[in-house]
Amino acid sequence: MMRRWLVPALLLLVVALFVLSLSVGPSAISLPLALADWWRGGDSTAAIIFADIRLPRALLALMIGAVLGLSGAALQGLLRNPLAEPGLIGVSASAGLGAVIAFYSGAGLLFPLALPAGGIAGALIAVTLLYLLAGKQAGMLTLILAGVAINSLAGALTSLALSLSPNPFALSEIVFWMLGSLADRSMTHIYVSAPFMLAGSLALLSVGRGLDALSLGEDTARSLGFSTARLALFTIGGTALAVGAAVAVAGAIGFIGLIVPHLLRPLAGYQPSRLLPLSALGGAALLLAADIAVRLGGPGPELKLGVVTALLGAPFFLALVLRHRRNLA
């Protein structure tokens, strides 16, 4: 009975948080009046705040939270590792490196779409390197090790770019971007990133039945007609597209892909095909809630969203490690 009502309950929660996100901000406006004026094509202050500031921010929180939760659940199912998340295979770090290069080269000033393009390119390069290192028929352990190597390399190159930056103002901008935020984003960011997030999400949702079979073992999955190489291609490729686009427009926002699947897995009956859409909804709800909390943080500079999710996720991650350690003892 609980599983039957879980999807409607999560949908209702996401809708409520989305509306609340449109209503929250430093400027007090009437959401119904702003929406009505915007719909009529008006140019009042309330309509501009709604259309140019709050709507892009709420949509990005919804989309990015969904792809982070979905990709985390898919990677945990593929790697059969409860601690897996998009950063494990180097996608997040490589997307960040691509965006940092766009910053560092000055392309972001000449070409407004250079930042998201660099992030997506970095994620795709990471996946290509992953397959070159691991091979087409690689086992899950080999994929994890290759991902860790790529993650370390991308982190080192990012640090190198930061250390060599001749402009302190550019360095400050890069560092603040890497902390993760949805502030000052526009509909242009959505238009650029949404197709990649959608394509990646569809690829991830398509592997649900294969992950169900894989949970019984690789040999069982093969006997049921599922190719583990194809599952890995769709899961990792989908993660690269979706998470690469997310990181490119919002910076590093971690732990959503780790927290949400763990919270929802018992409610999904430990079945990956059910967990995938639930994690997308749960990720959207969590990131919307975190972004609302950021804006309600009181006077002073706004906290970075990546910092808030890290403060939530780090204790959760440590608790998972300790519980896993106790289970092995």
Q: Does 62 score more than 60 pLDDT?
A: yes
pTM confidence score: 0.90
Q: What is the pLDDT of residue 142?
A: 76
Q: What distances in angstroms separate CA 16 from CA 224, 285, 292, one per listed residue?
A: 41, 9, 12
* Inter-helix orientation angle 168-178/140-163, to 10°: 150
8 A C-beta contact, residue 249 and residue 192: yes
Which region among 81-85, 140-144, 220-224 has the lowest average model confidence (pLDDT)? 140-144
Task: State the pLDDT at residue 273.
Answer: 92
Terminal alpha carbon distance of the chain:
35
Segment 111-118 mean pLDDT: 74
Contact (CB, 8 A) for 158 and 97:
yes
Domains and CATH numbers, the chain: 54-77+86-328 (1.10.3470.10)
Would you state the pLDDT for residue 1?
47
Share of the chain above pLDDT 70, in %: 94
The pLDDT tens digits for 196-223 are 899 999 999 999 999 999 888 888 888 9
% of residues, the chain, pLDDT over 90: 29
What local confidence, expressed as pLDDT, does residue 67 receive? 96
323 dihedral zone (left: phi>0; alpha: psi -120 to 50; beta): alpha
Structure tokens at 249: 């427009």
CA distance 288 to 269: 25
In the numeric block, which tokens belong to residue 153?
């390399």
d(CA 324, CA 301) in angstroms, rounded, equals 38
Q: Do 30 and 219 contact (CB within 8 A), yes or no?
A: no
Whether residue 91 contacts residue 257, with contact meaning beta carbons closer than 8 Å, is answered with no
**Residue among 253, 131, 112 at smallest CA distance from 187:** 112
| Distances 86 to 93, 261, 269 between C-alpha atoms, Å | 9, 12, 23
Tell me: the pLDDT tens digits for 5-58? Answer: 899 999 999 999 999 999 988 888 888 898 989 888 888 888 899 989 999 999
| pLDDT tens-digit series, residues 275-327 | 999 999 999 999 999 999 998 876 667 888 988 898 888 888 788 778 777 77
Q: What is the mean pLDDT of the chain?
A: 85
Structure tokens at 106: 């000055």
